[in-house]
A = this chain, B = another copy of it.
Amino acid sequence: MTTATKNITFQTKGNYDVLDITLQVTREVEESEVSNGIVTLFICGSTAGITTVEYEPGLVKDFGDMWDRIVPRDMPYEHNKAWGDGNGHSHVRASMLGASLTIPVVDKELALGTWQQIIFVDFDNRPRSRKILLQIMGD
A residues at B contact (CB < 8 Å): 1-3, 5, 36-38, 40, 42-46, 51-54, 56-59, 61-63, 66, 69-71, 77-83, 88, 91-92, 94-106, 111-113, 115-116, 119, 133, 135, 137-139
Contacts and interface: CB of A to CB of B under 8 A. Distances in A.
Contact of A113 (B2, B44, B100, B137): B44
Contacts of A98: 51, 98, 101
B58 A81 contact: yes
Number of copies: 3
A116 B51 contact: no
Given A36-B3, A116-B46, A88 B100 contact: no
Contact of A96 (B46, B56, B66, B139): B66
A2 B6 CA distance: 21
A38 to B, nearest CB: 5
A14 B139 CA distance: 37
Contact of A99 (B43, B61, B116): B116
B133 A51 contact: no
Contact of A57 (B3, B78, B96, B106): B78
Contacts of A105: 135
Given A5-B106, A70-B66, A101-B98, A59 B91 contact: yes
